[in-house]
Amino acid sequence: MNEAEAANRLMRLAKQIAHHDKLYHDQDAPEISDADYDALVRENRELEAQYPQLVRADSPSKRLGAAPTSALAKVTHARPMLSLDNAFSAEEVRDFVGRVRRFLNLPEGEPVAMTAEPKIDGLSCSLRYEKGQLVLAATRGDGMVGEDVTPNARTIRDIPQSIKGAPDVLEVRGEVYMSKADFAALNERQETAGGKVFANPRNAAAGSLRQKDASVTEARPLRFLAHGWGEVSEPLAMLQLLAMNKIESFGFPVSDLLVQCETVEEALAHYALIERERADLPYDIDGVVYKVGRLDWQDRLGQVGRAPRWGLAHKFPAEKAETTLEAIDIQVGRTGKLTPVGRLKPVGVGGVIVSNVTLHNRDEIARLGLRIGDRVRIQRAGDVIPQVVENLTRDETRAPYFFPDHCPECNSEAVAEEGEVDVRCTGGLICPAQRIERLRHFVSRGAMDIDGLGEKSIVEFFELGWLHGPADIFRLKDHRGALIGREGWQEKSVDNLLAAIEARIGFDPARFLFGLGIRHVGIVTAKDLMKAFGSVEGLEEAARGPDAQAELSAVDGIGPVVAEALVDFFHEPHNREQLAELLALARPAAFVSTARATEWTGKTIVFTGSLETMSRDEAKAQAERLGARAAGSVSAKTDLVVAGPGAGSKLKKAEELGIRVIGEGEWAEIVAGA
Ligand SMILES: NC(=O)c1ccc[n+]([C@@H]2O[C@H](COP(=O)([O-])OP(=O)(O)OC[C@H]3O[C@@H](n4cnc5c(N)ncnc54)[C@H](O)[C@@H]3O)[C@@H](O)[C@H]2O)c1
Ligand SMILES: [Zn+2]
């Protein structure tokens, strides 16, 4: 940038910054974020440092806030109310201390003790006490002239009306603010009442204090925290910290995170501590304020431009930033869920460089109207994964983004169930993203129950390339030689594992079906299906038939959601391929109904309360042996309820419906007699 360009830029910056100052300070309605505003101020400062001859009379570096234009009376401050210079890094804090040291001409090694405390996000207010009585409360305004808000301040409980033991004239300065919780509640009330909703607690506090009618202020939950003083008729103390202690003793709230630090490194450590506490503090803060500890040094340092030379605001890094969305990638989770991830042009947010954001799901992308190449505002809260909060471009000419209808990992069809936002891959058996999870499920207790094949071994075999899908479990015997001698595997344990696998050839088809991990197909549903279709092959035929949905839904215990999941699963070619292999190797048994025809055949039984002589599973198995179905909830279709001690709502419902209820003893008799 040459000198002429710099002059132009400085003129534009002066106008822009003045515009935002007015919106923010006078109208309590900012248009841009603080971080964006700070960036303008910073650019102005850097250009002025480079071209000192171009510093304008109306430069933002000389002004502060905005001259008040409200209906409130104006007051000229006895001592100006200043702003603070900003620092955004530890380096800049060290530079600040270096400047202080040089200004005071301190000998090498002489420490500069400083106080450090939270920079609370409210609006500054000066409270003037004469002979212990509150006589004036004023906002900062442009630093020289503020607004008279005395009646308003009198409604704030943290502000004493009178104080004892103070100098004849004492101006206590601090921040009027609103707690996060009070802010949220206020906005909720405002919204229901159709009133103004505030952008943040700072604006809410400013808008609430600067009211013509003090009864409006009174109804708002405002608080006050002291952080300094203005005119005083006699010195309060020799040190900043002790002066603040004195102010506290007069009855003003002072931050309990205010400390004196002996070195700059100590101060930076306190900054880190406050940053860690930030989320848990009841009020918003946007940084840490350091002040030279010795008041005689503060006097010597004085002020330059709009800020004291003895104070510094060390701001927290911005937690929001703007950047470009360069791509959207789809990640497939262990359960088949497709999650869109935004790839960003890397940008600093809250102290870290962010290049990925979660976009949650298909609906979220549609809500934001995202297209590749859009400018986006992103946000990072604590250690939560960053997310897009706003799309800054709505360029209808660029290609819209279409959420994939196939899994990027295995190319199987990806679908969202009705009423669900998540899109899932249907290629359960072969999808690499889902493999380990599926394998784990296939061998689990309730399914194929293969002893010795835990998650650790699954991962090990998977990484060795031995396990792709469940069919490979039955081919592990081909790797016997290679497995023996690997860490944790002796001949005996290998043979035990292979025997456990062999034992599952010709196993229960319902547990086999359950093991496939088809969505919504639990063990009870699997049994119902096997009862109806006799075998997995029979089920497959039905699920691929022309009338599959209707045929499946007709089965007792199967609803349309399960039917759809089955149709999806058996239509996916990859699944069918893997299943064919698996059936050839595992050869599940034909379903034999262990039920005899009894008077209970086809009936529905519900067990509730605790059973004393048997487990719930055993009771259900007994019911099934009688040809009955054990259901989880009582309805008009229930034929019998077996209630043990502690039975509650199910028992009550059965009684209301007039369903036969028996105890465990009577049930045992039925089982024995059948
Ligand atoms: N978004 C916008 O459009 C916009 C416009 C103007 C200003 N701003 C924001 O307002 C701020 C600039 O205003 P500023 O000039 O008042 O500077 P400042 O708010 O950054 O710093 C000075 C003020 O900090 C306050 N403060 C809080 N805790 C303090 C403590 N412990 N000790 C001393 N002072 C403490 C005081 O009220 C003091 O006046 C920046 O945060 C800026 O981002 C935003
Ligand atoms: Zn997939």
Q: Which atom of ligand 1 is nearest to the CA of 82?
A: 39
CB of 202 sitting under 6 A from ligand 1: no
Total domains present in the chain: 5
Same domain, yes or no: 208 and 308 = yes
254 lines ligand 1 (CB under 6 A): no
Residue pair 376/388 in contact by the 8 Å Cβ criterion: yes
Q: Is residue 120 part of a domain?
A: yes
- 36 appears as a binding residue in the annotation: yes
Place of tokens 């906002």: 139
- Among 17, 142, 175, the mutation site with the greatest number of ligand 1 atoms within 8 A of its Cβ is 175
Tell me the DSSP string of 67-96: ---SSSPEEE-SS-----EEE-SHHHHHHH
- How far, in Å, from the CA of 337 to the mean position of ligand 2? 9
Could you say which ligand is closest to the alpha carbon of residue 27? 1
pLDDT of residue 351: 58
Same structural domain, 626 and 576:
no
What is the rounded end-to-end Cα distance, in angstroms, of the chain?
97
The verdict on 570 and 626 lying in the same domain is no
Run of H or E residues at 509: helix 509-515
**Among residues 327, 319, 393, which one has the least CA distance to residue 354?**
319
Q: Is residue 519 part of a domain?
A: yes
Q: What is the CATH number of the domain that holds 433?
A: 1.10.150.20
407 is in an annotated binding site: yes
For residue 167, the domain's CATH number is 3.30.470.30
The answer on 355 and 268 residing in a single domain is: no
538 in a domain, yes or no? Answer: yes
> Is the CB of residue 339 less than 8 Å from the CB of residue 358?
yes
Q: What distance in Å separates the CA atoms of residue 137 and residue 125, rounded to the nearest whole number?
A: 7
Q: Is position 34 annotated in a ligand binding site?
A: yes
Residue 399 within a domain: no
Query: Is there an atom of ligand 1 within 6 Å of 295 CB?
Result: no
Distance between CA atoms of 418 and 45, rounded to whole angstroms?
Answer: 56
Query: Cβ-count burial of 641 within 10 angstroms (0-12 exposed, 13-18 middle, 19+ buried)?
Result: buried
In a 13 Å sphere around the CA of 438, the CA atoms on its Cβ side amount to 30
Q: What's the gap in Å between 205 CA and the centre of ligand 1? A: 14
Co-location of 284 and 303 in the same domain: yes
Q: Is 62 annotated as a binding residue?
A: no
Same domain, 267 and 168: yes
Task: Give residue 132's identity as a one-letter amino acid code.
Answer: G
Task: Give the ligand with the smallest distance to the CA of 336.
Answer: 2
Q: Are residues 294 and 437 in the same domain?
A: no
Domain for residue 398, yes or no? no
Which structure tokens are listed for 242? 């002790």
Q: Is 20 in the pocket of ligand 1 (CB under 6 A)?
A: yes
| Ligand 1 and 24: CB distance under 6 A | yes
Judge if 50 and 94 occupy the same domain.
no
Looking at the structure, do residues 141 and 280 belong to the same domain, yes or no?
A: yes
Q: For residues 54 and 307, give the distance between their C-alpha atoms in angstroms, rounded to a whole number.
A: 20
- Walk along the chain (674 residues) in steps of 10 and give the mean pLDDT of each run: 90 92 84 78 90 90 83 93 94 95 90 96 96 97 95 96 96 96 87 75 91 92 97 97 98 97 97 90 92 96 91 87 93 86 86 81 91 90 69 84 92 86 84 84 90 88 89 95 91 94 94 91 89 90 90 85 92 90 92 68 86 80 80 85 88 92 90 78
Kindly report the CATH number assigned to the domain that includes residue 31. 1.10.287.610
Give dist(CA 83, CA 93) in Å, integer.
17
**Cβ of 310 less than 6 Å from ligand 1:** no
ipTM of the complex: 0.94
Its domain, for residue 468, covers 404-412+422-592
Of 315, 333, 358, which residue is a domain's last?
Answer: 315
> Is 308 within a domain?
yes
Q: Does ligand 1 have an atom closer than 6 angstroms to the CB of 306? A: no
Q: Known binder of ligand: residue 83?
A: yes
Same domain, 458 and 356: no
Pocket test for ligand 1, best of 124, 255, 256, 298 (most atoms within 8 A of CB): 124
Decide if 119 is catalytic.
yes
* Same domain for 250 and 387: no
Residue 147 lies in a domain: yes
Residue 69 lies in a domain: no
Bridge partners of residue 315, in order along the sequence? 287
Please check whether residues 114 and 206 belong to one and the same domain: yes
Residue from 15, 74, 119, 652 carrying the catalytic annotation: 119
